[in-house]
Chain A
Amino acid sequence: MTGNRIARAVLILFFIGLLATPFVIKRFSARREADRSKFEAKTALARHGFYLEEVSQAAGINFVHQSPKLDPKLDPIMPEVASMGASVSIVDFDRDGWPDIYVTNSAIGSKNALYRNMHDGTFKDVAGQLGIADVNQPGTGVSTGAVWGDYDNDGYEDLFLIKWGRPELFHNDQGRGFTRVTDQAGLSPWINANTAIWLDYDGDGLLDLFVGGYYSEDIDLWHLTTTRIMPESFEYAKNGGRKYLFHNLGNGKFEELSAKVGISSRRWALAAAAADLRGTGHPDLFVANDYGVSELYFNDGKRFHEVGEQTGIGFAPKSGMNAAFGDILNQGRYAVYVSNISEDGILIQGNNLWMPKEGTTGDAVKYHNLARDFGVELGGWSFGAQFGDLNNDGTLDLFLTNGYISLDRNRSYWYDFSKVAGGNSTIIGDAKNWPAFEGRSLSGYQTKRVWLNDGAGKFVDVAQAVGATDTYDGRSVALVDLWNRGVLDVVVANQNGPLLLYKNTVAPQNEWIEFELEGTSSSHGGSNRSAIGAQVTLFWNGQQQVQEVSGGSGFAAQNDRRLHFGLGQNPHIERAIIRWPSGKVQTIDQPAVNQLHKMKEPA
């Protein structure tokens, strides 16, 4: 009997221990989770090596994004269906050596803005003057993103405007204005897309264009014939928009080849990015899909092959909203960051950090999700994210925006959302079955994450401590050295909110190097002038880091084409190896630190 009593007492203690486990884990993980100390510039600089200061007003930027107002049939859930469209992309459109900022607006009649860098810390909106402001006119849809690439290799970046509606291509007339060339280019008349990227998929020296549809392209969101426009499933939907691969023919025209080259998905694409993941010299394509699994397409230079399941990224369906590459362990290989939804107690998808498994390379590369291990899993309702070395310590950090719909702080739509999301496809797929929003929030007023990389596999959130304290509904993030100071500033586009400029101040002892690449396309080969797809691998202090010039990444965003490497203190750079899209390899021995290197592809 006594033995039984003891056993029972032990059992009860064990049970209490089990119940206490979540508290213990919470306490333990909170210790290494985040620096939640209040922002103080000096402290942030001393402790984290940098701080961010929101300077949009001082810089002359007072842009506020406006959401679209769609067909009245969608009025009850308008905040949800009109929840995207804010975007930011970086371009030096006039080649003056100072990055400029292009931002989209999404209400009918609203204007996009092109902020010219005035070299004195301020910006001036010149979109109207140059002909790329009034692009949200009735009957043409509204802007949801923009990517820049020199499609005709004339040395000036041209603009592809992503829309829910008629996509537009604008030719950059040597920085003095833009000419609409959509009709000549032969693009599709109507695409409801949130993502597009420039890439030279076939290595012919001409930039091609991938566009990922979200809503089906046969839907005019302002004139609905049916309310059955929603995803057929919350995690397995395949009734979204089609995908497009516009092959650049070199004469100002494009040919749509998606089916021919093996891209036929109808998942709900929200983000795409391309990089050479296997060292083949061809850009592979990563597509993050809402309501389903992500897709990874290996590119053999002629065709794409979907290898999501083969590589391990195509199994767990989530709500993919971002695709960004970063060599976060300085090992010459890219991780892929995909943002998803996490809401305490309701939906814990967790963001994905797809890391290549050790010992797997080339076509046999496999990925596993290490977001939890690295500490970059939980953000909230996450959207845009970008990798960049924010404190110049030599490792890539991660800036993540969060927050979906911020309306009434005290009333949440989550209950109604969860009801419908789990229901049958005939219910979830029809907008009229969704309960009315009635001013409620859905994962609103969320803080951002600025995850500092310790270089050894752990990230720590320091957003509050370094000054990234806003709680707007963040969508798009772009990193850029706005004032040529050798630091990465952060530009954030918010849905229904202001464009934010986080000016970065970095501890001066950390050094840096930047590269601006220009391809030399010719009839004999060569790379696209934008050098999109060119890789720079930097070797210093016994380590290496690879970065690639991108034609769009994150969520509806494009970073500056210039590549920025933080180097830490007292760096000794051995060499930089540039691999151009043409396949040419160029080595620079011991390039000087703390300066921008302008490199032209050798003939």
Chain B
Amino acid sequence: MSEPMSAPVVSPQAPAQKTPRFSLDNRYIAPAFITCILLAGHLSFGILESYQKTLLAIATSIGLELVLGRIFFHKWVHPASAYISGISVGILVRSPAFWPYALCSAISITSKYVLRVKGRHIWNPSNFGISVMLFLAAETVATLSIQWGNYLLPMLVIWALGSVIICRLRRFHITGIYVASFITFAFIRSWMTGSPWQSEIAPITGPMYQLFIFFMITDPKTTVRSKRGQCLVVFLVAVVEMVLRLDQIVYAPFYALFVVGPTAMLVEIWLDSRRANATNRTVAQ
């Protein structure tokens, strides 16, 4: 979720790839948005069990990004991306202990530097970090997220603000396709399982999903480049999530993105590589 809007600026190796549509100001939009969500949530519902845990997640994230960026890219990396990763971990991870917040942030950021293919990291950092924590530390960590009181108003505000920002960043199609797919599949699941359709729709009305649909699945660094490809990938995320939900996997969306996102990236990298080889051959001829 961390790099959706700011990645071109903050990526350790990104400046040369900066696309014109991301202005300098855009890198502050996502951090500002997620900070607003956090503050609004806390001031209205007191969502932060402790400031310290969230600050720990943010500090770990930014600190590690700066250190690793300095070591591997010989520069001070802009902290906006790491800030979003940290704050997302701070909101999504639920644990009575402190260490999971630091560890999740550390895994998220480090994964960007370790799990790379042809110079691109292929997992969304927070998605990777949270999924790994849920796999490995299930007895200490959960993300069942109901921190915003199950009320409509905060969701409407987030949807409205998020939509405007996502539109500005020309990524609304990703969110839109996902939401439409989720709702369609919810009705199909309801028909298949006999559960009330309201219960199948329920997850997307909760706060966890707002971070997922506005930050994680739209991350430019870990989504494919073509618009059509993005639509296909996010649809596939919804398909895999549907399958996982039929198997009653509680964290189906995280795991679906965990599987589909990198797979799509690898396919794109492979296609790019083939294209580059073909071009090289043509030039050589």
Q: Is the CB of A435 within 8 A of B151?
A: no
Which residues 17-58 of A sit at the B interface, judged by CB distance below 8 A? 18-19, 21-23, 25-26
Q: Name 7 interchain pairs, CB-CB below 8 A, sorted by A.
A: A4-B72, A235-B150, A348-B139, A372-B96, A422-B202, A422-B207, A433-B198
What's the nearest-Cβ distance from chain B to residue A404, in Å? Answer: 15
In the complex, whether A377 has a CB less than 8 A from a CB of chain B is yes
Chain B residues, CB < 8 A from A430: 198
CA distance A120 to B77 in the complex (A): 78
Chain B's closest residue to A438 (CB) is: B194
Q: Which of A404-444 contact B (CB under 8 A)?
A: 412, 414-416, 418-428, 430, 432-436
Is B140 part of the contact surface with A, judged by Cβ < 8 Å?
yes
Q: A234-B150, A348-B96, A427-B205 are in contact. Are A416 and B140 (CB under 8 A)?
A: no
B69 to chain A, nearest CB (A): 12
Are A415 and B248 CB-contacts (below 8 A) given A345-B134, A422-B208? Answer: yes
User: Which residue of B has the minimal Cβ distance to A233?
Assistant: B150
A181 at the interface (CB under 8 A from B): no
- Contact, CB under 8 Å: B96 / A22: no
What distance in Å separates the Cβ of A411 from its nearest Cβ neighbour in chain B? 9
Interface residue B160 (Cβ < 8 Å from any Cβ of A): no
Known: A346-B250, A423-B201, A433-B199. 17 other contacts (CB 8 A): A18-B103, A22-B137, A22-B140, A235-B146, A235-B150, A315-B46, A345-B134, A346-B142, A348-B95, A416-B199, A422-B202, A423-B150, A423-B202, A427-B150, A427-B198, A430-B198, A433-B196
* CB within 8 Å: A-B pair count: 158
A153–B154 alpha-carbon span in the complex (Å): 53
Q: Which of A349, A416, A424, A436 contacts B151 (CB 8 A)?
A: A424
Whole-angstrom distance between the alpha carbons of A432 and B197 in the complex?
11
Contact A345 B110 (CB under 8 A): no
- Measured between beta carbons, the chain B residues less than 8 angstroms from A317 are 46
Residues on B with C-beta less than 8 A from A427 are 150, 198-199, 201-202, 205
In the complex, how many angstroms separate the beta carbon of B86 from the nearest chain A beta carbon?
15
Q: Does A588 contact B (CB under 8 A)?
A: no
The reply on A358 being an interface residue by CB < 8 A is no
Interface size grouping (class) on chain B: 35 or more
Which residues in A have their C-beta under 8 angstroms from that of B206? 422-424
Q: Which of A7, A12, A18 contacts B71 (CB 8 A)?
A: A7
Q: How far is the CA of A423 from the CA of B107 in the complex (A)?
A: 29
Chain B: minimal CB distance from A294 (Å): 13
Looking at chain A, what size class is its interface with the partner chain?
35 or more
Chain A residues whose CB sits within 8 angstroms of the CB of B139 once the complex forms: 26, 344-345, 348, 378
Per the 8 Å Cβ criterion, residues 337-357 of A in contact with B are 343-350
A12–B114 touching, CB < 8 Å? yes
The residue that B107 contacts in the complex, of A19, A344, A433, A436, with Cβ under 8 A, is: A19
Which residue among A235, A426, A436 has the maximum number of chain B CB atoms within 10 Å of its CB? A235
CB-CB contacts below 8 Å: A103-147 with B:
none
In Å, the complex CA distance between A315 and B72 comes to 42
Contact A434 B142 (CB under 8 A): no
**Is B97 within 8 A of A236, CB to CB?**
no
Question: Which chain B residue lies CB-closest to A424?
Answer: B205
Interface residues of B in 206-232 (CB under 8 A from A): 206-208
Contact partners of B265 in chain A: CB under 8 A: none
How many angstroms between the C-alpha atoms of A21 and B110 in the bound complex?
14
Chain B residues 58-84 with CB under 8 Å of chain A are 68, 71-72
Answer yes or no: B111 CB below 8 A from chain A CBs: yes
CB of A11 within 8 A of CB of B202, answer no
* Cβ-closest chain B residue relative to A352: B96
